[in-house]
Amino acid sequence: MSHSEETIQQVWEFGRIIKGQDPDALRQDACSAWIFRSQYGNRDSIFGWEIDHIDPNGPDGILNFQPLQWQNNVDKSSGKLKCNIISSSETNIEIKNQ
């Protein structure tokens, strides 16, 4: 699904703000993974992110969207986050706890 720049920015605003970091450049997703605004749609980056449907059966509306690190988005199953990518210090790490 293709999203407008306006929608991408609105969804970015739902990311968790990190104290001491520029919220226009860096945030965290629902799993605590670091995401960079400039890396939207970049699956070659550990900091890439995508727009996720919170409820996969819900509407294509802004209130049903969240920013999610791309691997966390791919790993999401039946609407349940698996959080295989999380933050650690200043980077993201892969865990296999689920």
Q: Can you give the length of the chain in residues?
A: 98
Instruction: Give the pLDDT of residue 91.
Output: 95
Span 73-89, mean pLDDT? 91
Confidence of residue 96 (pLDDT cuts 50, 70, 90): confident
**Residues 26, 12: Cα–Cα separation, whole Å:** 10
* pLDDT tens string 5-32: 999 999 999 999 999 999 999 999 999 9
* pLDDT tens string 27-48: 999 999 999 999 999 999 999 9
Instruction: Give the pLDDT of residue 97.
Output: 59
Instruction: Give the pLDDT of residue 20.
Output: 95
Q: How many domains does the structure of the chain reveal?
A: 1
Q: Which region holds residue 32: left if phi is over 0, alpha if psi is between -120 and 50, else beta? A: left
Domain range enclosing 9:
5-94
